[in-house]
Amino acid sequence: MKNQTYFWVLVDLFLMLTQTGVGIRVISYNGRPTVTQGQHADLTCELIETDEELIQISWQKSTRGYRANHNFFLITPSYGPSHVKERGDRVGFIGNTTALVGSIRLWDVSLTDEGVYTCIFTVFPSGPYKAEIHLNVQIPPVISVAVETPPVVAEGQESILATCTAANAKPPADIRWSTASARQPLSLTTSTNTTLNPDGTATVRGHLKGEPSRVMHQQEVQCLVNHTTLSQQKVVPYEIDIHYPPNSVKIIIHERPPQAPAFQCLVDANPPPTEFTWKRLNRSNLSVRVGLLELVRVGPDFSGLYSCEVSNPYGAASGFLYVHEEPWPSFVVVERQSKTQEG
C-alpha cells in the first residue's frame, strides 16, 4: 500500500512539471534557408500553443563576420523593433507581435551573413522559448576561359590548350568541356582541380589538354558550367589558339595588268609572318609590299627564278617560282615549290 501511494505521488509530480508550458514552442518554416549573395533572406519564427503575455522578441546571431553569439535585433509590443549596436538599414521586421510572429528580413545578403540565427520569445510567466535558423549563402561563379601560360606552341608534346575557371563560388561549380562545335574530331583530354579559398568559396579550374597542332588552330570548343545559382547551364565558347611556324608557302598570280605582272606570296602561319622577302637570282628589279611581288617593268629578261621567304618567331619558309615568257608579253608559271625551316 505504501509503495502504491509513492507511485501515484511520482505520477502527480511528473504531470505537474510537464504541464507547465506544455506545447509552447517556437517554430520556423524555413529552418535552413539558402539565398544567393545580393538577394534578401527571410528568417521566419512563430511562437505557438500559448496565450501568455509577450514581453519581447529578440534575435541573436553567430556568423562568418562575427563568430561570437550576440544580440542584434529586438522587438517589443510597446515600442516595436530596434537595432542593437548595428546599422539597421539591412534588417527589417516582417512579423506581427499580436500574432506572435517574430520573422525578420535581411537585405543584400553577403557571405559574412552566413551563420546561425536564434529567434527568442520571452513570455510571462513561463519564460523564454527559442529556435535556431541556419542561413546558408551561395555565391555565383566568376567564369572565364583563357590560356594560363600563353602562347601554346605546336611542339609535339601534350600541353594545356585552355583553362576554364569558375572562381570564388559557393558551393564549387561543376565544369565540363565539349568539342561538339569543333569542325572536326579532336583528340583531347580534360582534368579539373579545386582550390578552397579562405572565405569559404572555391575556385574550380577545368583544363583542356592535347598535343598542339595546326589543325587545332581556330577550332571551337565550349566550356560548360553548372552551379546552383545559375538558372541554366552556362556555355562559354572558346577558339583554340595554336602558334606554329610558316608552312605551305603558295605563290599565286595576284593580277595581270599589261605592263606590271604581280604575284602574291601566301602562307599558313600563326602568328602571321612579320617579314616577307622576295628575291630573284642575280637580279634586283623587284618591288615588294607585304607578300606582294610587283615587277617594275616587263622585258626580255622577265624570265627567271623567284623566291619568297617568310618568317615568324617560330621559323621560316620559302616558296619558289620560275617564270618563262612565251611568246612576249605572256608568261606561265612552270614550277612552284616551298620549303619550311622551323626556328
pLDDT tens, 273-284? 878 888 877 665
Q: What does the pLDDT read at residue 251?
A: 84
CB-based contact 222:178 (threshold 8 Å) = yes
pTM over 0.85: no
The candidate with the shortest Cα–Cα distance to 260, out of 299, 291, 294, 286, is: 294
Q: What does the pLDDT read at residue 209?
A: 97
**What confidence tier does 325 reach under pLDDT thresholds 50, 70, 90?**
low
Tens of pLDDT, residue by residue over 193-241, are 999 999 999 999 999 999 999 999 999 999 999 999 999 999 999 999 9
Q: What does the pLDDT read at residue 20?
A: 45
Tens of pLDDT, residue by residue over 61-99, are 999 998 899 999 999 999 999 999 776 789 999 999 999
For the chain, the average pLDDT equals: 85
Take residue 121 and report the three cell numbers written for it: 520569445
Q: Which helix (DSSP H) or strand (DSSP E) does residue 294 occupy?
A: strand 292-295
Please report the beta strands in 94-196, taking only residues with DSSP state E, as ranges in sequence order: 104-106, 115-124, 127-138, 142-146, 152-153, 159-169, 174-178, 189-196
Query: Looking at per-residue confidence, does 31 or 13 come out higher?
Result: 31
CB-based contact 117:131 (threshold 8 Å) = no
Question: Which residue is listed with cell 535585433?
Answer: 73
CA quadruple 288, 293, 299, 302: dihedral, nearest 10 = 120
Domains (range + CATH), the chain: 2-138 (2.60.40.10), 142-240 (2.60.40.10), 245-342 (2.60.40.10)
- Burial class from Cβ neighbours inside 10 Å (0-12, 13-18, 19+) for residue 146 reads exposed
Please report the beta strands in 197-274, taking only residues with DSSP state E, as ranges in sequence order: 202-210, 220-226, 234-239, 242-255, 262-270
Take residue 124 and report the three cell numbers written for it: 510571462
